[in-house]
Amino acid sequence: MASGEASEALGDVRTTVREGYAFAGDAIELGVLVDGEAVPDVPVRIPVAMFNRHGLVAGATGTGKTRTLQLLAEQLSTLGVPVFAPDLKGDLSGMAVAGVADERLTARTQDIGQDWQPAACSVTPFALGGVGTGVPIRASVADFGPVMLAKVLGLNETQESSLALVFHHAERAGRPLVTLDDLRQVVHHLTSAEGKADLEDLGGLSKATAGVILRELIVFADAGADVFFGEPSFQVTDLLATAADDRGQVSLLELPGVQDRPVLFSTFLMYLLRRLFAELPEVGDLPRPKLVFFLDEAHLLFADASKDFLEVVTQTVRLIRSKGVGIVFVTQSPGDLPDAVLAQLGSRVQHQLRAHTPADAKALKAAVSTYPHSGYDLAAVLTQLATGEAIVTVMSEKGAPTPVAWTRLRAPQASMAPAPADVLEGLATSSPLAAKYAPAPAAPAPDAAPAPRVDPEAAGRDDRLAREADRLEDELADSAPEPAPRRAPRSRSRSRAPRRTRSRQSPLDRVADEAGRTLGREVARILFGKRRR
């Protein structure tokens, strides 16, 4: 190509991008065009009003996705838009502290013409189940629902359907489902002689399926996940707060303590979105969203997901924008998301992708196919992007995609290092929400002796537990996995009923033999209350 033709082509790219990203309303400054070098006078931006059309931040590990998330969250907060983001590694906690300039940062900001000034955000840290530093976020099992719970338990579609039947019975019978213990209690009841009659008109619950559900609940609780379920249940509207200076609250869900349960926290994020969808009123398209919700490690949400779960996610993404909520999925590749979800995402920020393996090459090809036609050889460019660079296209104010732009991203103004522990502790304890959610029972220490669960329903359950003590042996027998002698009719004396010989039940046998009905209430508490192995 002649030098004159190259100059003309260069001018065309700059003019196209400059005009394509010139918005009339408020916009988030992403960075500037790269065309051989950074072009400071050609900014790349996202209209704030288009955030409720959702977005995607993707790229391989170490390419700058977290810093892009921080950049977006900072500017949204400055414009008065509340933000929610999970903080898997603690990296985002630095948003509570003003950044510090160094030689590398200064060189970058000067290169793109950014007038960088240090600034902290108004941050409220939250902790899932109180594990970590932050205001505790908990949910009742009933609010979490059977579809979400089946996802984290790894149940198949048949078992998920049976779990939904258990929830239906509990609601119909007025039995509260607050903790995992409450759910186990209902499953035990439905496999007992009396409980089977309760489900005759609904098809019943097989012992095999009930056994799978009970085993998975026990494993789930023993892994420490039971601390996430309880009261007081978190009110999602508390995420819509603004600070005294009108900046949007940045709600960071601290997750370092639950990294070994990734499916749980990704599903819990989806639960929060469903609650927002259910509780917020219809508002249509707003000049600014009421909340922007970042969903990090989004690929975990869809791994081995059931058809019902995918339908829930797709419906939520499609309809929640009318509630004034925008969602930004953060993951490694667009191919991590189902097509039905990907089609709903108006803005794309794609960091570097690698093509070291056949699977990588396939993901690269899929990523390229999601972008509008452009003058770039995207398959080549996406593997050449430097850290802090991305290929960008967003939804314009007219609802059309903007030109594809190779972008060098701006630097966040807050610290890009984790905040000191004492800073987070101070933010958590000084939050007005700390007192609101403080009554939730604290999780027992891992090495502590098992203790009875304390919850607000305990006093009201005593009478019910006493009545269910009479059914104790039946429920133990029905939930036992190994074959057992045929039970005598219920009219026979309990002292003549066959006993199980498993070592786990022998303490209960001795209690029943020695104390009888007087200690029945305590036996019921052991069975139906919190029991950690």
In a domain, 24, yes or no: yes
Judge whether 208 lies within some domain: yes
**Shortest CA distance to 301 belongs to which of 270, 276, 325?**
270
Alpha helix (H) ranges present in 121-237?
141-144, 146-153, 157-173, 180-190, 193-198, 207-222
Cα separation, 170 vs 142, whole angstroms: 9
**How many domains, in total, are found in the chain?**
2
Q: Same structural domain for residues 128 and 256?
A: yes
Contact predicate 339/305, CB 8 Å: no
Same domain assignment for residues 194 and 104: no
Residue 130 binned pLDDT confidence (cut-offs 50, 70, 90)? confident
Could you tell me if residue 471 is inside a domain? Answer: yes
* 87 assigned to some structural domain: yes
Task: Share the mean pLDDT of the chain.
Answer: 81
Residue-range definition of the domain harbouring residue 112 = 10-138+231-437
Q: Would you say residue 508 has pLDDT above 60?
A: no
Asked which of 13-27, 47-61, 105-119, 129-143 is least confident by mean pLDDT, the reply is: 129-143
397 in the same domain as 352: yes
pLDDT digits (tens, 9 = 90+) for 220-273: 888 778 888 988 899 999 999 999 999 999 999 987 655 567 777 778 888 899
- The CATH number linked to 131 is 3.40.50.300
Note whether residue 114 is domain-resident.
yes
In a domain, 73, yes or no: yes
Element (H, E) at 193: helix 193-198
Contact 253, 92 (CB under 8 A): no
Q: Over the stretch 484-505, which tens digit does the pLDDT of each residue have?
A: 443 444 433 333 444 444 444 4
